[in-house]
Amino acid sequence: MPELPEVETVRRGLLPVMEGARIEKARVNRPDLRWPFPPRMAERLTGARIERLERRSKYLLAALDTGETLLMHLGMSGRILVSGDPLGHFVHDHPAPEKHDHVVFDMQGGARVTFNDPRRFGAMDLMESAGRDAHPLLAALGPEPLGNAFSEPHLVAALEGRNTPIKSALLDQKIVAGLGNIYVCEALFRTGIHPARRAGRLSARRRASLVPAIRDVLSDAIAAGGSSLRDYRRADGELGYFQHSFDVYGREGAPCRRDGCDGTVRRIVQSGRSSFYCARCQR
């Protein structure tokens, strides 16, 4: 599933053709994805102007001049691709329709934005913009890891007394929004913390050290266009490249990349997910 850097990369790729532009025609080619689409979605979107295109956790949010906000989630295999952009940001002509092109936006100016999702685990919804923070998918989310609310005091307090493994705690979207398996593994490596350590037993100093590490890992991944492991593509159809910089994720049996460490990367399973770490330098 795309994590925060991949969703942020898609958002930035969509900005030139969506933010400030009008949806001249919206087409919805099936009744649902993971959940049913809202009633009359194509009708409600056609003619609407996108005032802002934002991201909250792993969700894209398009604030419309109609007073509604369109929520989009990529799910496991969703892709949002742009074609026919007259501004020159994208060079692709409109391709022939594909089987899994479930939602299509023909934008003002000639660009086309297509939501393609073979597995149909993605989602779209429309909500009143004024109350969007109360939406069931958004209401319980914690602070954004790249925002000011995600601070060292916040994380130290949020992890206080928690008996869950630190890996599981950081995946809790109520503690910090948008983190997923890949980037938690990478942040724990950068701080030298073993993924199975109990969150509440870490010293306040070590808990605090996770904040800059998380910020740095996410920023590095965004700069590289995200990580392409299976289905992920940027909005221009290209791959992300941060997977070539992984220190531990997916590198089971490989040597540790930390200077002076002769350990090897190991894998354990936590709550059904693989955790990768250096057996020597992560404690």
Give the lowest-confidence range in 44-48, 54-58, 90-94, 180-184: 90-94
pLDDT at 237: 52
Mean pLDDT of the chain: 90
Tell me if residue 3 is catalytic: yes
Helix, strand, coil tally for the chain in percent (to 5) = 30, 25, 50
pLDDT at 209: 98
- Is the pLDDT at 241 greater than 50? The verdict is no
* Amino acid present at 257: R
Catalytic annotation, pick one of 55, 56, 58, 233 = 58
- Strand, helix or coil for residue 167: helix
pLDDT at 87: 52
Could you give the residue range(s) of every CATH 1.10.8.50 domain in the chain? 152-278
Tell me if residue 58 is catalytic: yes
Q: In which element (H, E) is residue 215 found? A: helix 204-223
pTM: 0.89
Could you give the residue range(s) of every CATH 3.20.190.10 domain in the chain? 4-134
- Is the pLDDT at 45 greater than 90? The verdict is yes
Please tell me the distance from the alpha carbon of residue 108 to that of residue 47, in angstroms, as a whole number.
9
Q: Determine the average pLDDT of the residues in 147-166.
A: 97
Cβ within 8 Å of residue 246, ≥6 positions away: 182, 186, 227
pLDDT at 32: 96
DSSP string, 87-153: TSS--PPPPPP-TTEEEEEEETTS-EEEEE-SS---EEEEEEGGGGGGSTTTTT----TTSTTS-HH
- DSSP tag of 226: -
- CATH code assigned to 4-134: 3.20.190.10
**Nearest 5°: phi and psi at 216?**
-65, -45
Q: Determine the average pLDDT of the residues in 213-242.
A: 65
| Fold topology of 152-278 | Helicase, Ruva Protein; domain 3 (1.10.8)
Tell me if residue 99 is catalytic: no
pLDDT at 231: 46
pLDDT at 246: 87
Q: Which two tokens stand for residue 99?
A: 């089987």
- Is the pLDDT at 8 greater than 50? The verdict is yes
Please tell me the distance from the alpha carbon of residue 213 to that of residue 283, in angstroms, as a whole number.
16
Under the banding of pLDDT at 50, 70 and 90, the label for residue 275 is very high
- Is the pLDDT at 37 greater than 60? The verdict is yes
75-110 pLDDT, tens per residue? 988 888 888 865 555 555 677 778 999 999 999 988
111-156 pLDDT, tens per residue? 999 999 999 999 999 999 999 999 999 999 999 999 999 999 999 9
